[in-house]
């Protein structure tokens, strides 16, 4: 029994708890392996403690520049007018939805092959954020499609495959939380994430393989970008800003998850000690 | 080490299997994944009469007529072309803002007995080029581009990736 009746729950201050880095590893973790050098949660917390303020500051700065450049300085499009500015949110969200999913796939490979516990935690924190980004991509696309195409939504290959990507993010977020055994949930989530990787090239190339209402890619086409530099440069700045913000949010969420785990481990250790003292 | 190696091989084999299965499925469903048919597709394949489908292409230059009625309502008539073939379309609803001659459109409806496509819905389809109004005006003035005839010229002509030279066509044109 961890918390005998009549006793207050054990509380631990994460930041001031002694011997942070020397805590015993979780019992399920495998020993050895060179990659586990980077899996030390104490080292992760120390490193990211230094990075996070810089990352957040850079994200805010770049997003501020991107917002002013995109909303005030950049010219309207000759045929779409001012609605083209939706692109400065829509396109970075689409890139992050796909790029973030590739990140989830890499974390899943690390989780399945090396049983990397930090990869499990990061994947678990990544998927709700990825789902939010994909939802924003779909919403801004819908808001853009209504005035330009004349419809909120069509079931063409691009839009449908992005909707599938959204459900994959949601499914991963739900699946890793659906098991009492966190490690089992992480493994199931990793398998789902890797199966879903087939959707990423479909999203990317749907506009080239099949005819769609959605236009083909502007920035990554083979000859020069089909976008004037006055519109292209603020788009790239916004993409960089949103990417930095995405990384900062994922990092902060993962740090919180590591600390949460640590609190639980310390509480368990304290409870075990108390039980042993009573016996 | 061997367990790790084995897990890597299982993952690689699963990836190959899943990837080829997806590729085969997508190839098999190729025809159902197209969002619209071009006029040439429509004229060369047999479509059961009364079956609704989407017809896509460019609005042919000089084909838009805003006079006349269809089934008692003011109608707009135009032709959708893919360069090789064109199909006349009649539509009685509200057109999207981007509708003009030379613009891509996707129309949904049924083919009539007389070979005129009766559209229930017209959606505008724009291409992947974005440029400020001044650059578009400069291209038009210089005679490089007539939007009613279709897509903009290759970006290498007007997109120099140097903001200072963005108005190059204007100088060559005047």
pLDDT of residue A141 exceeding 80, the answer is yes
> How far from A156 is each of A101, A213, A271, B25, CA to CA, in Å?
21, 6, 57, 17
What is the rounded CA–CA span in Å between residue B59 and residue B89?
10
For residues B172 and B12, the model is more confident at: B12
Sort out which chain A residues have CB atoms less than 8 A from B91's CB and list them. none
How does residue A38 score in pLDDT terms, banded at 50, 70 and 90? low
What pLDDT, on a 0 to 100 scale, did the predictor assign at position A159? 94
Q: Mean pLDDT, to the nearest integer, of A106-114?
A: 92
> How far from A194 is each of A35, A174, A231, CA to CA, in Å?
20, 16, 35
Question: Which pLDDT tens digit goes with each residue over A243-256?
Answer: 999 999 999 999 99
B10-29 residues touching A, CB cutoff 8 A: 11, 14-15, 18-19, 22, 26
Half-sphere exposure of A71 (CA within 13 A, CB side): 7
Query: What is the domain partition of chain A in residue ranges?
Result: 46-216+228-278
Share of chain A above pLDDT 70, in %: 85
**Whether B132 and A230 lie within 8 Å, measured CB to CB:** yes
Q: Report the DSSP pairing between strands B117-125 and B86-91.
A: parallel
Q: Mean pLDDT, to the nearest integer, of A60-88?
A: 92
Residue B90 contacts residue B75 (beta carbons within 8 Å): yes
Q: Which residues of B53-84 are buried (b: 16+ CB within 10 A; e: fewer)?
A: bbbbbbbbbeebeeeeeeeeeebbbbbbbbee
Half-sphere exposure of A51 (CA within 13 A, CB side): 15
Of A110-114, A136-140, A141-145, B149-153, which gets the smallest average pLDDT?
B149-153
Q: Which residue of A has its CA nearest to B104?
A: A213
- Extract the tokens encoding A159: 């839009």
pLDDT of residue B130 exceeding 60, the answer is yes
Q: Mean pLDDT, to the nearest integer, of B89-103?
A: 88
pTM across the whole model: 0.83
Q: Is B56 on the interface with A (CB under 8 A)?
A: yes
**Whether B128 and A148 lie within 8 Å, measured CB to CB:** no
What is the rounded CA–CA span in Å between residue B147 and residue B168?
19
Of A57-61, A237-241, B127-131, which gets the smallest average pLDDT?
B127-131
- Extract the tokens encoding A98: 């796909």
What is the rounded CA–CA span in Å between residue B87 and residue B54?
12
- Extract the tokens encoding A232: 């292209």
What is the rounded CA–CA span in Å between residue A176 and residue A127?
10
Chain B interface test: which of A205, A211, A217, A220 (most B C-beta within 10 Å): A211
What pLDDT, on a 0 to 100 scale, did the predictor assign at position A21? 46
What pLDDT, on a 0 to 100 scale, did the predictor assign at position A13? 53
> How far from B76 is each of A150, B63, B141, CA to CA, in Å?
17, 10, 30
- Extract the tokens encoding B76: 């707009």
What is the rounded CA–CA span in Å between residue B96 and residue B115?
24
What pLDDT, on a 0 to 100 scale, did the predictor assign at position B112? 86
What ipTM goes with this model?
A: 0.81
3-state secondary structure B96-162: CCCCCCCCEEEEEEEECCCCCEEEEEEEEECCCCECCHHHHHHHHHCCCCCHHHCCCCCHHHCCCCC
- Close Cβ partners of A184 (under 8 Å, ≥ 6 residues apart): none
**Whether A148 and B124 lie within 8 Å, measured CB to CB:** yes
Q: Which residue of B has its CA nearest to A154?
A: B35
How does residue A39 score in pLDDT terms, banded at 50, 70 and 90? low
pLDDT of residue A151 exceeding 50, the answer is yes
Question: Which pLDDT tens digit goes with each residue over B12-65?
Answer: 898 899 989 888 888 888 777 788 999 998 888 888 888 889 999 999 888 888
Q: Is B96 on the interface with A (CB under 8 A)?
A: yes
How does residue A278 score in pLDDT terms, banded at 50, 70 and 90? confident
What pLDDT, on a 0 to 100 scale, did the predictor assign at position A29? 44
**Whether B18 and A198 lie within 8 Å, measured CB to CB:** yes
- Extract the tokens encoding A141: 């696309």
What pLDDT, on a 0 to 100 scale, did the predictor assign at position B49? 81
Of the candidate CATH numbers 1.20.120, 1.10.3470, 1.10.287, 3.90.930, the domain formed by A46-216+228-278 belongs to 1.20.120
What pLDDT, on a 0 to 100 scale, did the predictor assign at position B160? 60
**Whether B163 and A79 lie within 8 Å, measured CB to CB:** no
Domains of chain B as residue ranges with CATH:
35-163 (2.40.50.140)
Going by C-alpha positions, the residue among A148, A5, A33 that lies closest to residue A86 is: A148
Angle made by CA atoms A266, A127, A254, in degrees to the nearest 5: 30
pLDDT of residue A19 exceeding 90, the answer is no
**Whether B166 and A228 lie within 8 Å, measured CB to CB:** yes
What pLDDT, on a 0 to 100 scale, did the predictor assign at position A125? 95
């Amino acid at each position: 029994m961890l918390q005998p009746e009549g006793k207050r729950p054990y509380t631990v201050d994460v930041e001031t708890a002694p011997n942070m880095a020397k805590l015993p590893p979780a019992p399920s973790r495998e020993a050895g392996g060179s990659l586990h050098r980077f899996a030390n949660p104490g080292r992760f917390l120390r490193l990211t403690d230094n990075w996070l303020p810089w990352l957040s500051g850079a994200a805010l700065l770049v997003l501020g520049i991107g917002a002013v450049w995109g909303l005030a300085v950049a010219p309207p499009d000759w045929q779409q007018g001012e609605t083209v500015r939706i692109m400065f949110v829509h396109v970075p969200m689409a890139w992050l939805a796909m790029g973030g999913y590739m990140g989830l796939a890499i974390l899943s490979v690390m989780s399945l092959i090396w049983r990397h516990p930090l990869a499990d935690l990061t994947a678990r924190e990544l998927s709700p954020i990825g789902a939010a980004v994909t939802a924003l991509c779909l919403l801004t696309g819908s808001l853009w499609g209504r005035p330009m195409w004349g419809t909120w939504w069509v079931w063409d290959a691009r839009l449908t495959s992005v909707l599938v990507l959204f459900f994959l993010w949601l499914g991963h977020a739900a699946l890793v939380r659906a098991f009492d055994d966190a490690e089992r949930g992480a493994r199931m989530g990793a398998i789902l994430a890797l199966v879903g990787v087939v959707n990423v090239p479909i999203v990317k190339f749907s506009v080239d393989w099949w005819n769609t209402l959605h236009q083909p890619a502007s920035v990554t086409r083979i000859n020069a970008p089909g976008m004037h530099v006055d519109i292209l440069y603020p788009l790239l700045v916004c993409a960089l800003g949103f990417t930095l913000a995405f990384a900062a949010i994922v990092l902060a969420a993962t740090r919180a998850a590591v600390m949460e785990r640590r609190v639980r481990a310390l509480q368990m250790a304290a409870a075990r000690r108390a039980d042993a003292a009573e016996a | 080490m061997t367990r790790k190696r084995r897990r890597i091989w299982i993952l690689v084999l699963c990836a190959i299997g899943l990837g080829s299965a997806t590729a085969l499925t997508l190839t098999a469903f190729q025809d159902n994944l197209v969002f619209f048919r071009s006029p040439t597709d429509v004229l060369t394949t047999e479509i059961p009469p009364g079956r609704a489908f989407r017809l896509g292409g460019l609005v042919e230059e000089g084909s838009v007529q805003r006079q006349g009625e269809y089934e008692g309502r003011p109608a707009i008539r135009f032709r959708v072309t893919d360069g090789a073939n064109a199909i006349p379309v009649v539509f009685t609803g509200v057109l999207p803002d981007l509708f003009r001659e030379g613009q891509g459109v996707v129309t949904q409806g049924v083919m009539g007995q007389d070979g005129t496509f009766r559209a229930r819905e017209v959606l505008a389809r724009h291409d992947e080029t974005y440029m400020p109004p001044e650059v578009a005006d400069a291209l038009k003035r210089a005679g490089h581009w007539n939007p009613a005839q279709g897509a903009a010229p290759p970006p290498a002509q007007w997109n120099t990736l140097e903001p200072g030279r963005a108005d190059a066509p204007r100088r060559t044109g005047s």
